[in-house]
């Protein structure tokens, strides 16, 4: 199987990660902090938004890509990727607010976790199927 759907969504998420990185740089410049967050809550939030994204997105995308390579239907790959994007946007918005918008933050993590679990199970199931045939 080829990998054609996941790279499109990975590209979109890559651009969003760059945006989050720029937000950290802006806060660092505004607060004149080169390492850590200093005493800036805004910088600390920007760092955690970017950090959380970088903690969950790569593995989840990798699992979606494995599912695609192993033959999962295109509609399921699109669905998982769109839900992942929605989850990452919602989480970043919720965590980025002062104070936290727990509704967006929580739903963002639920969406992300759902895709992580679905892609992991799809990868396991499809890999087992391929190994047994």
Residue 10 pLDDT exceeds 70? yes
Q: Is 20 helix (H, G, I), strand (E, B) or coil?
A: helix
CB-side exposure of 22: number of CA atoms within 13 Å? 6
User: Is residue 79 domain-resident?
Assistant: yes
pLDDT of residue 41: 94
Q: What is the pLDDT of residue 26?
A: 97
Average pLDDT, the chain: 96
Q: Determine the average pLDDT of the residues in 94-115.
A: 95
Within-domain flag for 71: yes
Cis status of the peptide bond prior to 99, with omega within 30 of 0: yes
- Which DSSP string corresponds to 36-61? S-TT-HHHHHHHHHHHHHHHHHHHHH
Q: Domain limits at 108?
A: 6-128
pLDDT score for 2 = 82
- SS percent in the chain: helix, strand, coil, step 5: 80, 0, 20
Span of 16-20, 62-66, 98-102, 121-125 with lowest mean pLDDT: 98-102
Report which secondary-structure segment, H or E, holds 83.
Answer: helix 74-96
Question: In this predicted structure, what is the pLDDT of residue 93?
Answer: 97
- What pLDDT does residue 19 have? 98
Read off the CATH number of the domain in which 22 is found.
1.20.120.550
Overall domain count for the chain? 1
Instruction: Say which residues have a Cβ less than 8 Å from residue 130's Cβ, sequence separation at least 6.
Output: 70, 71
The CA distance from 89 to 71, in Å, is 28
Residue 1 lies in a domain: no
Residue 1 pLDDT more than 80? no
pLDDT tens, residue by residue, 29-84 = 999 999 999 999 999 999 999 999 999 999 999 999 999 999 999 999 999 999 99
Q: Is 100 helix (H, G, I), strand (E, B) or coil?
A: coil
Reference 12, options 57, 50, 56, 71; nearest CA is 57
């Amino acid at each position: 199987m080829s990998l054609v759907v996941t790279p499109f969504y990975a590209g979109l998420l890559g651009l969003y990660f760059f945006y989050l990185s720029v937000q950290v740089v802006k806060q660092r410049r505004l607060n004149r902090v080169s390492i850590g967050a200093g005493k800036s809550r805004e910088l600390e939030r920007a760092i955690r938004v970017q950090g959380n994204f970088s903690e969950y997105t790569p593995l989840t995308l990798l699992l979606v890509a494995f599912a695609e390579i192993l033959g999962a239907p295109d509609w399921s790959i699109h669905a998982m990727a769109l839900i992942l994007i929605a989850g990452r946007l919602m989480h970043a918005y919720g965590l980025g607010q002062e104070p936290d918008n727990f509704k967006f933050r929580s739903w963002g993590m639920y969406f992300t976790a759902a895709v992580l679990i679905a892609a992991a199970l799809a990868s396991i199931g499809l890999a087992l199927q391929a190994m047994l045939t």
